[in-house]
Structure 1
Amino acid sequence: MPNFTKKSVLAFFALLTILAYGLLIPWLGFYWDDWPFAWIGEFLGPSEFIPAFRPFRPFLGPIFVVTTSLLPPIPFVWQIFGLIIRLSSALAAWWALKQIWPERKFQTLSVSLLFLLFPGYSQQWVALTHINQEWISLIAYLLSFGLTASALRNPSKPKSILALLLLFWGLFPTEYFIGMEPLRLLIIFILLPKNISPFWMRIKRSLQIWTPYLLLWLANAGWLAYYYTQGGYNSYSVEASSGSAGVPLQLIQGIGDAIYKAVWLSWMQVIGQFSQSLTAPTTIIGLALVLFTFTLIFIYFQRLKLGDSTKGSKIWATQAILIGLAGVLLGRAPSWLAGLPLKLQTTFDRLTISIMFASALLVAGLLELLIRNRKWRMIALSGLLALAVGQQFMSANDFRRDWERQRNLAWQLSWRIPALEEGTALITHQLPMVYESDQSFTAPLNWIYAPDYRAGDDLPFALVNTEKRLGGGTIPSLEPGTPITVPYRTVSFHGSTSAAIVIYAPKNGCLRVLDPVYANERVYNREDDFLTDTIFLSDPSRILTETEGATVPDFLFGKEPAHTWCYYSTKAELARQLGDWVEVAHLGNVAEAEGYHPVDAFEWLPFIEAYIYTEKLDRAEELSQIAYQKEPRLHKGLCELWGRGEVNTPLVKGEELAKIIQDELDCFP
């Protein structure tokens, strides 16, 4: 087998990037703030990001303007761009590290690979958001570090100026990296010539060199302080840590937690995920990917010839550990002071981006210091990197599932609600997705139902989560006529509780439009009060059935999926709303003939009622028994349904059967 040279490293970086982040890209989409940002770029234009970010992070606006001008709002395109940006960040880190430690070729490569695959950060696939909000700034910061080191080794005023410019773009657009700057001082200190002594002279000289960067850093701190005191910049709904007696203990716990997660838990968490379900297909694929990646990396390391020095490795390890440890603590400090938790595998693990580079340095330094045998060190490093690839694959699969739920919800909305009266709020208490909120999904809602929206108009539609918004500025109360206000960057939705439709989208069921007659608070009495208390507001008449149907953009959600149970369920609900019981029964017959059945027995209700009114009483009775046996919570729903059937059925036999079934269900205790 031939040896690998330095020329192969770029291809190796690219291969690992694809293995970790690219395998599931065709099945990934938009998440969280990706949606409003994509909607703004498409309907308001890229220039709208300038006023959109002015009250929050004004220096982010130009970054969004550039990227959204170059790239269309297509999920696949942004996911590919995310791959390119992640690879670019690793190459920037590698270049910067080589400027700091040019003789430590394998060590700097190791740090860069650990940085590339850092498994504590699971937000890679929220691509449009995090590329613009953090990754571009982080790349600028890393390049700034490298230019500072290069200017120290080969004095160059242009390099120093460029380093300051890159520092500006690393600092000012986002507060994530404010804790990284002291690392530059440590880098300067270790790069000073050895003949500068004693120790205090080295410190003095380091501070002199660092002064321009320090001034820019302090200017940024002042800028942040100004915006925080203005109240517009801080977009987090958390409280900063106070000066209470418990703060010292909290600080110690916070330090320990950050180090533990940076050095150990981030890298080992995938083992726990695998062990939860060893026979699951995703676990089997993930384990196979880990084994394949481990073999690939170890063979590559064994055959890689970089011509690096092995002398003084303990010195390098000590430097890497000290800088890494400082970076982890300083990188975590701002978010800790803001009261933000560092929780892995949640949206809060986005905070690890500020400690990612330092964590890679710390882990690589510990491996170098603790494992003296080069082969065993390669095995350990290969194992960590392989586990990281496995973790990123598992995270990507979570996002894949979430995107599938998004697609299903979008299409079910279009089937159940062909069109909507403008000014309608869709109210619910939860969504079947993990990586979206009501505000983020308001964007695709308007994309589907207001494809001709023009800038300057009010937002036509909004999705409102009562669990999150009730009692606040969005929806103060559930009294009829209460204003519903949803600020959406530079536009707003203005509606009313008297112009609303209540929807329910369970994770293991189909979308439903609730209403005071067929799907009321008695039918769903076991559900959360945040849902049932709103049903009386639901006005299905705001669903327009005589106009052109909703447009689900295929460049966003792909082609219309096959018509399985949820298609027939949502269409049957719509037909029930229109009083077309023959169509409801027909849809039930077609679904049965195709072999489709509901997972959630509540979805039998429209068909049972249709069979009563279309004189298929035996089928109605049979389905009632099946549904009740599967889901006893249907008791009140079946009682109400057969109560209506007793009154409305055209057959005397149907009236008699309705009474019998109501007695069997003990509807009148």
Structure 2
Amino acid sequence: MLIAFEDRIALNRISFSPRTVPLALLGLALLAYGPLIPLLGFYWDDLPYLWLYHVQGPPGFVDFVASDRPFSAWIFMLTTTLFGETAWPYHLFALLLRWLTAWVFWWVLKYVWPGEIRAATWAAFLFLVYPGFKQQPIALIYNHHFSVLFLFLLSLVCLLLAVRKPRWFLPLTGLGLVFSAGMFSIEYFAGLELLRPVLLWLVMDEAGGSWKRKAGRVMRHWLPYLAMLGLFLYWRVFVFRFPSYQPQVVDRFLQAPLPALSELVRVVVTDFYTVVFIAWTEILQLPSGPLSWLAYLAIVAIGTAAVWFFLDRLKSPQPTGGGVSGDRWARQALAVGSFAFLLGGLPVWITGLPVRLTYPFDRLTLGFLVGVGLVLVGHLELLFRSLVLRQVILVGLVGLSLGLHLQNANAYRRNSQILKDFLWQLTWRAPGLEPGTILLNENPPWTYYSDNSLTAPFNWTYAPGSSSLDLRYMFYDLDVRLGEGLPDLKKGLPVNQEYRSMRFSGSTADILAVYYRPPGCVQVLDPLYTVSYPDLPHTLQKAVSLSDLSQISLLASSPASPPPNLFGSEPERSWCYYFEKAELARQAGAWPEVVTLWENAARDSRSPAEASEWLPFMEAFARVRDWEKAEQLAEQMMKNRDLRPMVCTAWERIAESMELEAPEKDIIGRIRSQADCNG
């Protein structure tokens, strides 16, 4: 009892100085983005960028990004040189960048409001775990964005330090301009450059003096950065122009000014509530499954307790609370945060892109990060006088955000597993492919990949030794490419596709159509064999007639396999291994081999998740005249009424291609009658 009492006294004596805030931010970053790093892979545009590195090395990025962001090559050259083709270093670097940007953001707030350490810490915590942006696992790509945001915030530190240390004005301004030049790399944060005079005014307001004198000092410190911004705008608008996204809002204003203004105001107000408030409702998403719940509760409990303990014992020179000082700071925070929101949204609104909280448009929330925390903390200050109540709300937001980010990382982990399964099953089914093959797919089961993304691992798998920018293979999602890169679903049409510095030239004569709906296996669609495949997406159904299985090399000298550094070693032989190998043997007419594969699958206690996958084995048993087993499998398939047309066409094909005795014809007739083939 006495020991416990003494421990409580010792615990109550613990306090944290403001110098420990960066360490607290690091701990929070580790909880938010670190737990699943070893299990994460590459996603979305990570893959084509990594394929470019694999093919051309770091110098290849100069041409690769020249079309839209020519000054961004440096970050990709740097990170690929350092980290190569292994995923976890990119994710670790992404975590470090999130921590560093939050640290420097806190540093900026501390310089502007030195008496509001606690409020600055709150804003930095919210900045770090903001739930509106959920593409953190796309590490290779977003290391670029966060590097530029980090440099911008560092340039703000240089700006503010130059005010406090006039003797260092020139070197600090020079360094700040170098950091500010990051906007040439990516335009996401360029609008925030106009935040500088506001921050300068707030810092100089402490020193007093006439407003004219302060305005003069503000201009003196801001002018070099304003010149840099002017140079950027001149280059982007008049020299480089708008290679990707056009300034749609300008066109609308020129055509109809008043309706355009009304629509812009509506969009800005909607985006404000979406980004600043609605985004935090994302944290109410709950996991499913006992293991997910256990991990979720653990991370939320640990994070909530740790954040509360730290904030409750954080020493602040001037505690935030009610009263004149607190209200004055809250109004300033609301004003500065709202202004930062408007500035951060400029690149988005000019190009007319939609701000959403869903993939892939949640990336557009990045420009608003600087303003979100300030606006939210400012609102809490004005709405709730109780420091404890404000802290409860803040800790709740942070703790539940940790749970959301864990779920989000797990969703990405599952996506990479789905892609890994797809590629391995594809290589089991197609150990080699003829150059020029176009893989067609529709309604894919993944979220965080596009067909542009998957063209990279498709080539990496089937042409791992290529060093050419001419792509040998193309992956097309019919939902996206029909009528675009893919002109029509007709045979013999030319297909030409460019992706940055890469290009593909092929023909619709070289199409291979595939369908994948886990837990079912990858289906390579055969115009003869899968004409009656149930639930096939509508457009893909029309594309089956173009699917040419001669694109598959049945006896590839070096069977293809997904790159192990990206997708790991070959998984254990599940049912899908036997199914894909059976499909390959069926294509070659090796029916005894299909039967052997069935026996091996039965020995390993493997069975299909989709009854349609009995089909090659049913036909194989019929071909080797094991009619009893063939009939058993037919009955298994017919339990699903949607599969009866498939059973009918299979037995019709068997009857037409085999010399049958009368008893064998009776068996086939009985099966066809049960399947209601003539109904």
Normalised TM-score (structure 2): 0.92
The 3-state SS of whatever aligns with 1:181 is helix
After TM superposition, give the deviation of residue 195 of structure 1 in Å: 6.3
Listed one character per residue, the Cα deviations across residues 564-587 of structure 1 (whole Å, up to 9, x for unaligned) are 111111111111111111222222
Query: What residue number does 1:148 align with?
Result: 159
After TM superposition, give the deviation of residue 261 of structure 1 in Å: 2.5
Are residue 621 (structure 1) and residue 631 (structure 2) matched? Answer: yes
Query: What residue number does 1:8 align with?
Result: 20
The 3-state SS of whatever aligns with 1:503 is strand
Whole-Å separation in 2 of the counterparts to 1:551 and 1:663:
43
Q: Report the CA distance shift for 1:124/1:424 in structure 2 as closer, same or farther (over 3 A).
A: same
Q: Is the 8 A contact 1:177 1:331 kept in 2?
A: yes
Whole-Å separation in 2 of the counterparts to 1:368 and 1:77:
39
Whole-Å separation in 1 of the counterparts to 2:408 and 2:642:
35
Query: What residue number does 1:292 align with?
Result: 302
Whole-Å separation in 2 of the counterparts to 1:64 and 1:531:
36
Whole-Å separation in 1 of the counterparts to 2:602 and 2:506:
40
The one of 523, 534, 537 equivalent to 1:528 is 537
- The one-letter amino acid of 2:272's match is I
Q: Is the 8 A contact 1:501 1:538 kept in 2?
A: yes
Query: What residue number does 2:275 align with?
Result: 262
Whole-Å separation in 2 of the counterparts to 1:494 and 1:296:
56
After TM superposition, give the deviation of residue 596 of structure 1 in Å: 2.4
After TM superposition, give the deviation of residue 395 of structure 1 in Å: 1.1
Q: Is the 8 A contact 1:119 1:266 kept in 2?
A: yes
Aligned pairs for 1:184-583 within 5 A = 184-194=196-206, 202-203=214-215, 205-226=217-238, 229=241, 233-234=243-244, 242-243=252-253, 244=256, 246-271=259-284, 273-274=285-286, 281-308=291-318, 310=320, 312-455=325-468, 458-472=470-484, 474-519=485-530, 522-524=531-533, 526-546=535-555, 547-583=557-593
- The one-letter amino acid of 1:539's match is D
After TM superposition, give the deviation of residue 399 of structure 1 in Å: 0.6
The 3-state SS of whatever aligns with 2:497 is strand
The 3-state SS of whatever aligns with 2:476 is strand
Listed one character per residue, the Cα deviations across residues 472-518 of structure 1 (whole Å, up to 9, x for unaligned) are 2x221222221122213222111111122111112432111112221
After TM superposition, give the deviation of residue 605 of structure 1 in Å: 1.3
Deviates more, 1:533-542 or 1:113-122: 533-542
Q: Report the CA distance shift for 1:526/1:268 in structure 2 as closer, same or farther (over 3 A).
A: closer
- The one-letter amino acid of 2:664's match is G
Are residue 71 (structure 1) and residue 79 (structure 2) matched? Answer: no
- The one-letter amino acid of 2:31's match is L
Q: Is the 8 A contact 1:241 1:339 kept in 2?
A: no
Listed one character per residue, the Cα deviations across residues 216-241 of structure 1 (whole Å, up to 9, x for unaligned) are 22222222223674x5x215899987
Are residue 612 (structure 1) and residue 622 (structure 2) matched? Answer: yes
Whole-Å separation in 2 of the counterparts to 1:305 and 1:226:
51
Q: Report the CA distance shift for 1:249/1:600 in structure 2 as closer, same or farther (over 3 A).
A: farther
Are residue 83 (structure 1) and residue 95 (structure 2) matched? Answer: yes
The one of 643, 647, 666 equivalent to 1:656 is 666
Q: Is the 8 A contact 1:119 1:388 kept in 2?
A: yes
The 3-state SS of whatever aligns with 1:29 is coil
Query: What residue number does 2:5 align with?
Result: none
Query: What residue number does 1:138 align with?
Result: 149
Query: What residue number does 2:609 align with?
Result: 599
Q: Is the 8 A contact 2:637 2:644 kept in 1?
A: no
Q: Is the 8 A contact 1:241 1:247 kept in 2?
A: no
- The one-letter amino acid of 1:634's match is L
- The one-letter amino acid of 1:421's match is E
After TM superposition, give the deviation of residue 658 of structure 1 in Å: 1.6
Q: 5+ unaligned residues in a row in structure 2: which ranges?
A: 1-10
Query: What residue number does 2:36 align with?
Result: 24
Whole-Å separation in 1 of the counterparts to 2:170 and 2:263:
44
Q: Is the 8 A contact 1:258 1:328 kept in 2?
A: no
Whole-Å separation in 1 of the counterparts to 2:18 and 2:118:
10
Whole-Å separation in 2 of the counterparts to 1:659 and 1:226:
76
After TM superposition, give the deviation of residue 49 of structure 1 in Å: 0.6
After TM superposition, give the deviation of residue 3 of structure 1 in Å: 2.6
Q: 5+ unaligned residues in a row in structure 1: which ranges?
A: none
Are residue 118 (structure 1) and residue 130 (structure 2) matched? Answer: yes
After TM superposition, give the deviation of residue 440 of structure 1 in Å: 0.8
The 3-state SS of whatever aligns with 1:355 is helix
Whole-Å separation in 1 of the counterparts to 2:667 and 2:509:
38
Q: How many residues are matched?
A: 657
Query: What residue number does 2:7 align with?
Result: none
Whole-Å separation in 1 of the counterparts to 2:250 and 2:461:
39
Whole-Å separation in 1 of the counterparts to 2:246 and 2:436:
29
- The one-letter amino acid of 1:511's match is V
Q: Is the 8 A contact 1:575 1:581 kept in 2?
A: yes
Q: Report the CA distance shift for 1:606/1:199 in structure 2 as closer, same or farther (over 3 A).
A: same
After TM superposition, give the deviation of residue 308 of structure 1 in Å: 4.4
Q: Is the 8 A contact 1:90 1:116 kept in 2?
A: yes
Q: Is the 8 A contact 2:247 2:351 kept in 1?
A: no
The 3-state SS of whatever aligns with 2:504 is strand
The 3-state SS of whatever aligns with 2:277 is helix
Whole-Å separation in 1 of the counterparts to 2:249 and 2:601:
52
Query: What residue number does 2:8 align with?
Result: none
The 3-state SS of whatever aligns with 2:524 is strand
Whole-Å separation in 2 of the counterparts to 1:658 and 1:38:
53
After TM superposition, give the deviation of residue 281 of structure 1 in Å: 3.9
After TM superposition, give the deviation of residue 25 of structure 1 in Å: 1.3
Whole-Å separation in 2 of the counterparts to 1:605 and 1:228:
57
Listed one character per residue, the Cα deviations across residues 428-476 of structure 1 (whole Å, up to 9, x for unaligned) are 22322111111111111111111111235x211111222211212x221
The 3-state SS of whatever aligns with 1:178 is helix
Query: What residue number does 1:646 align with?
Result: 655
The 3-state SS of whatever aligns with 1:493 is strand
Q: Is the 8 A contact 1:268 1:387 kept in 2?
A: no
After TM superposition, give the deviation of residue 106 of structure 1 in Å: 1.8
The one of 645, 657, 669 equivalent to 1:636 is 645
- The one-letter amino acid of 1:130's match is Y
- The one-letter amino acid of 2:92's match is I
Q: Is the 8 A contact 1:646 1:659 kept in 2?
A: no
Q: Report the CA distance shift for 1:279/1:125 in structure 2 as closer, same or farther (over 3 A).
A: closer
Are residue 52 (structure 1) and residue 76 (structure 2) matched? Answer: no
Q: Report the CA distance shift for 1:118/1:317 in structure 2 as closer, same or farther (over 3 A).
A: same
Listed one character per residue, the Cα deviations across residues 630-654 of structure 1 (whole Å, up to 9, x for unaligned) are 3x22232111101012223455233
Whole-Å separation in 2 of the counterparts to 1:74 and 1:278:
30
CA RMSD in angstroms comes to 2.3
Deviates more, 1:63-72 or 1:306-315: 306-315
The 3-state SS of whatever aligns with 1:124 is coil
Q: Is the 8 A contact 2:574 2:606 kept in 1?
A: yes
Q: Report the CA distance shift for 1:496/1:16 in structure 2 as closer, same or farther (over 3 A).
A: same
Whole-Å separation in 2 of the counterparts to 1:489 and 1:666:
53
The 3-state SS of whatever aligns with 2:639 is helix
Whole-Å separation in 1 of the counterparts to 2:425 and 2:526:
17
Whole-Å separation in 1 of the counterparts to 2:247 and 2:40:
29
Listed one character per residue, the Cα deviations across residues 282-312 of structure 1 (whole Å, up to 9, x for unaligned) are 2453234223211111112122335445582
Whole-Å separation in 2 of the counterparts to 1:250 and 1:197:
42
Name the % identity.
33
Listed one character per residue, the Cα deviations across residues 107-130 of structure 1 (whole Å, up to 9, x for unaligned) are 222221111111111010000011
